[in-house]
Amino acid sequence: MSWSAVVEALREGVSAVVHLTALPILVYFVLINTSLLVLILLAWAEFRAQQRRRLTTLDWQGGGLAPGVSLLVPAYNEEVGIVTAVKSFLSLRYPRHEVVVVDDGSTDRTFARLEEAFDLVEVPRRLPMDVPTGVAVHSVHVPRDGRTRLVVVRKENSGRSEALNVAINAASEPLVAMVDGDSVLEPDGLLRVTKPFVDDPTRVVATGGPSDR
């Protein structure tokens, strides 16, 4: 067999392979590019939906419709993270909210850390008994600056449930949200969970949402 015949045979073989694989390759690239286009369109739609939700949230928040919220934080031996948690709660994007921390008879420096971080002073405040409790409240403290919406209640140790009941009695806002002392909420978390109360105030009695730890 001459060299030219070998070259011609190879050329015909390569040509046959190209003809056989051209269509599958074309289909593959069409599918890949179509999938990418669909993903881009879905991402754009989700972005627009988030923008609409954000604008809606700002509308009802800015219109003075957001109800006040008291964040109730039972704390027992939370000295490691309590200050960071309380600062994050106070910095939430919400027009009117307060943080009520109940030190449930901690044996570590939970209260001392709060006292140092927020310059707490004791106030002669007697808590109402809207929710009956059987524990002794030792003292109530607030920041000296008079602006930071934080209340810290010290009580004897009796468990999380009693601590939350005491926190409810100390709360001053119409809605309450119960969070742990080691929780981290999204900046817009309160806006999301309170919006149902604005949308349907006669039927909504409770809402909830995830938190990161």
Sheet holding 97-104, edge to edge: 120-123, 137-143, 150-155, 97-104, 69-75, 175-178
Of the ranges 31-35, 49-53, 173-177, which is most confident? 173-177
pLDDT digits (tens, 9 = 90+) for 164-192: 999 999 999 988 989 888 777 788 778 77
Write down the residue that tokens 């978390």 correspond to.
Answer: 189
Chain Cα centroid distance, residue 86: 14
Does the model's pTM come out above 0.85?
A: no
> How many Å apart are CA 147 and CA 194, to the nearest integer?
23
